[in-house]
Amino acid sequence: MNGFTHASMNAPFIVADGLRGGDGKEIGINGEALGSITVASAIAEADSMIVISHGKGHPTSGFGGAVKHLGMGCLDRAGKIKVHEVGKPSIDPEKCILCGDCVEVCPWGAITPPVIDHTKCCGELSCADACQQEAIIPPPDATDKMQKRLGEAALGPIKALDGRIGYINWVYDLTPGCDCFNFSGERFVEDIGILAGQDPVAIDSATVDLINGRMKPDGKSIYNVWGVNPWIHIEAAEKIGCGSKKYELKNLE
Ligand code: SF4
Ligand code: SF4
């Protein structure tokens, strides 16, 4: 759907959770919200992994970097649903003008305005972003709950690979939206550089601190991009044992 192929990237490309997203391996993580999570098989069975993340804003997690790629990108479809399912929204019939824009973006065919079928919905909230009338209402605390699950799920691939993972955060072209959007917005801050490390929590903490440092003279932080606090998922990842927020920056130039 997004044009990622061997031909477009000039690099081998594998869909890690199989042809239809059902190829995963269950990993026990013993978190407060998630007892276990399913990691995409091709990742769970890899010898080692380098997680290369494009740093960017995100409407649900505030920031997307290494922890987001572990706790979402490395999961199979069932794992992704497990993280998202706390976000199943409803439609305010007073605000809904029955335009159908939400129907177009719903990948699960769950919407017949002004009703959402929660047996089909998986709670990923594409519809809320698409609705110009702000008629689609997520449950209270959906973002916080989703971020906590995201941070905990990041432990799944770390355990599966027994920590044999390195991380690179590409902190360039910092756009507000996730790279799975079918458009690219304006940069919200100047390019910063490239970070590398062995701790996903540390590298994301350093990245967010650097972004906030660049936005500070304007009285802003990454929170202002979507009104979402990204530290919730980073700290959830730290709490479950993915790494530490402490870091030391070394300039290798
Ligand atoms: S996009 Fe919003 S206004 Fe349009 S049908 Fe969906 S809920 Fe209603
Ligand atoms: S949250 Fe996602 S799956 Fe649920 S109705 Fe909205 S677009 Fe469809």
**Residue 91 near ligand 1, beta carbon < 6 Å:** yes
Coil/strand/helix, residue 49: strand
Give the integer Cα–Cα distance in Å for 219 and 224. 10
Average pLDDT over residues 19-33: 96
| 141 confidence band (pLDDT: 50, 70, 90) | very high
**What is the predicted pLDDT for the residue at 241?**
98
Mutation pick for ligand 2 pocket among 104, 118, 127, 143 (CB with most ligand atoms within 8 Å): 127
Average pLDDT over residues 76-98: 96
% of the chain residues with pLDDT over 70: 100
CA of 122 to the centre of ligand 2 (A): 6
Average pLDDT over residues 56-79: 96
CA of 83 to the centre of ligand 2 (A): 14
Query: What are the structure tokens assigned to 198, written together?
Result: 């062995």
- The set of residues, in sequence order, having a beta carbon less than 8 Å from that of 150 and lying 6+ positions away, is 61, 67, 68, 71, 72, 83, 233, 236, 237
Per-residue pLDDT at 2 exceeds 80: no
Per-residue pLDDT at 3 exceeds 90: no
Contact (Cβ atoms closer than 8 angstroms) between residue 191 and residue 174: yes
**What is the predicted pLDDT for the residue at 90?**
96
Fold held by 89-137: Alpha-Beta Plaits (3.30.70)
Cite the residue boundaries of each domain of the chain with CATH code 3.30.70.20: 89-137
**What is the predicted pLDDT for the residue at 114?**
96
Please tell me the number of the ligand nearest to residue 116's CA: 2
Query: Judging by DSSP bridges, how do beta strands 90-91 and 115-116 pair with one another?
Result: unpaired
**Residue 137 near ligand 1, beta carbon < 6 Å:** no
Q: Which residue has the tokens 């129907």?
A: 103
